[in-house]
Amino acid sequence: MKWNFWIRQFHRWTSIIFTVIVAAIFITLGVGKEPVQWVYFLPLFPLALLVFTGLYLFALPYAARWRNGQGTTSEA
């Protein structure tokens, strides 16, 4: 379970970094300065990490159910 904890923490901190980068770009645009072109690519790396960790965290409950033998279908 330690592994899941660290992935969750990594996901949280990466989301904070992503939010700060995007906010800084919008603030720079609001001030009236046009940032250099490569600044617009800065959020892409944290966003890619967020996609992979988010998909992992999304699949955790389904994987736990599958491991316990309950499957994904509900029987009434």
Per-domain residue ranges of the chain: 2-61
pLDDT in tens, 13-39: 999 999 999 999 999 999 988 888 888
For 34-60, what is the mean pLDDT?
92
Cα separation, 33 vs 25, in Å, equals 10
Q: Are 49 and 59 in contact (CB under 8 A)?
A: no
Cα separation, 8 vs 45, in Å, equals 17
Q: What is the pTM of this model?
A: 0.77
Place of tokens 């490569």: 38
Longest CA pairwise span in the chain (Å): 61
pLDDT range class, residue 72, cuts 50, 70, 90: low
